[in-house]
Amino acid sequence: MVCYGWKERQAEEKNTLAVVKEHNLRILRNVLESPYPEASGYVAIQARDSTSPSADEANFALLQKTYLACKDIKAIAAVGTKPLKAAVAELDRIWPAAGDAAAPLRESDYDNFVRALVFLEDLGVPSFYEGLADADDAQPDANVAFFRGPKFSQPDSVYSDPAALGAYSKTLAGSLRGVLPLNLSDAEALAVGTAVARLEADLRGALAAGEGPPPDLPPNTDAAWVAASYFPYTPAAVASLSPVLRLDKLVAALGPAGYKPEKIVLQVPNYFRNVSVILAKTPKLVVQAYLASKTVARLSDVVVTPDADERILLDPLRCAAYVDEYLKFSLGRFFVTSSFGNRSRDYGDQMMHEVREAFVARVGGLDWMTDGVKKQVVQKAKNVRQMIGYPTSSPDLLDAASVAEYHRGLKITDDFFANTAELGRWNRQKRWGVLGRPVDAGAFAMSVAETNAYYRGAGNTITVLAGIMQFPVFSPDLPAYANFGSLGTILGHELSHGFDNTGRHYNPDGKLATYWDEATAAAFEEKSRCFVEQYGAMKVGDRNVDGELTLGENLADAGGLNTAYAAWKARTKGVPEQKLPGLEHLTPEQLFFVFFANTWCNNFSPAAVAAGLTDEHAPDSARILGTAANSAAFREAFNCPVKKPTCEVW
d(CA 168, CA 158): 8
- Helix 16-33 with 328-339: angle, nearest 10 deg: 100
- CA distance to 164, 325, 532, per residue, from 318 (Å): 31, 11, 40
325 is catalytic: no
Exposed/middle/buried for residue 65 (C-beta within 10 Å: 0-12, 13-18, 19+): middle
Which residue from 559, 570, 554, 534 is spatially nearest to 618, judged by alpha carbons?
554
Kindly tell me which of 420 and 460 has the beta carbon lying closer to Zn ion.
460
Kindly tell me which of 81 and 267 has the beta carbon lying closer to Zn ion.
267
Shortest spacing between CB 493 and Zn ion, in angstroms:
6
d(CA 334, CA 329): 9
139-148/461-465 β-pairing: unpaired
d(CA 358, CA 27): 34
Shortest spacing between CB 453 and Zn ion, in angstroms:
8
Looking at 202, 324, 500, 557, which residue is catalytic?
A: 557
Ordered strands of the 130-136 beta sheet: 130-136, 139-148, 264-266, 231-233
d(CA 211, CA 149): 10
- CA distance to 291, 324, 547, per residue, from 617 (Å): 31, 25, 10
Tell me the number of residues near Zn ion by CB under 5 A.
Answer: 2
Rounded to the nearest 5 percent, the helix, strand and coil shares of the chain are 55, 10, 35
Torsion of CA 72, 75, 79, 84, to 10 degrees: -20
Shortest spacing between CB 489 and Zn ion, in angstroms:
11
526 is catalytic: no
461-465/453-456 β-pairing: antiparallel
Give the type of residue at 518.
E
- CA distance to 27, 65, 172, 173, per residue, from 11 (Å): 21, 33, 32, 35
Kindly tell me which of 87 and 453 has the beta carbon lying closer to Zn ion.
453
Kindly tell me which of 244 and 561 has the beta carbon lying closer to Zn ion.
561
x/- site string to Zn ion, residues 531 to 570, per CB under 5 A? ----------------------x--x--------------
Task: Reply yes or no: is the peptide bond before residue 472 cis, omega within 30 of 0.
Answer: yes
Kindly tell me which of 334 and 524 has the beta carbon lying closer to Zn ion.
524
Which residue from 275, 332, 294 is spatially nearest to 104, judged by alpha carbons?
275
Shortest spacing between CB 362 and Zn ion, in angstroms:
19
x/- site string to Zn ion, residues 117 to 156, per CB under 5 A? ----------------------------------------
Shortest spacing between CB 315 and Zn ion, in angstroms:
29
Which residue from 605, 580, 606 is spatially nearest to 594, judged by alpha carbons?
580
Kindly tell me which of 207 and 556 has the beta carbon lying closer to Zn ion.
556
Looking at 137, 399, 494, 620, which residue is catalytic?
A: 494
Kindly tell me which of 200 and 553 has the beta carbon lying closer to Zn ion.
553
Shortest spacing between CB 556 and Zn ion, in angstroms:
5
d(CA 303, CA 553): 38
d(CA 466, CA 447): 9
d(CA 235, CA 252): 10
Shortest spacing between CB 468 and Zn ion, in angstroms:
12
- CA distance to 102, 340, 462, 553, per residue, from 454 (Å): 46, 19, 6, 12
Kindly tell me which of 553 and 589 has the beta carbon lying closer to Zn ion.
553
Kindly tell me which of 407 and 493 has the beta carbon lying closer to Zn ion.
493
Shortest spacing between CB 553 and Zn ion, in angstroms:
5
Shortest spacing between CB 596 and Zn ion, in angstroms:
15
Shortest spacing between CB 22 and Zn ion, in angstroms:
22
Kindly tell me which of 148 and 456 has the beta carbon lying closer to Zn ion.
456
517's CB contacts (< 8 A; 6+ apart) are 370, 372, 373
Give the type of residue at 290.
Y
Catalytic residues: 494, 557
Binding residues (CB under 5 A) for Zn ion: these are 553, 556
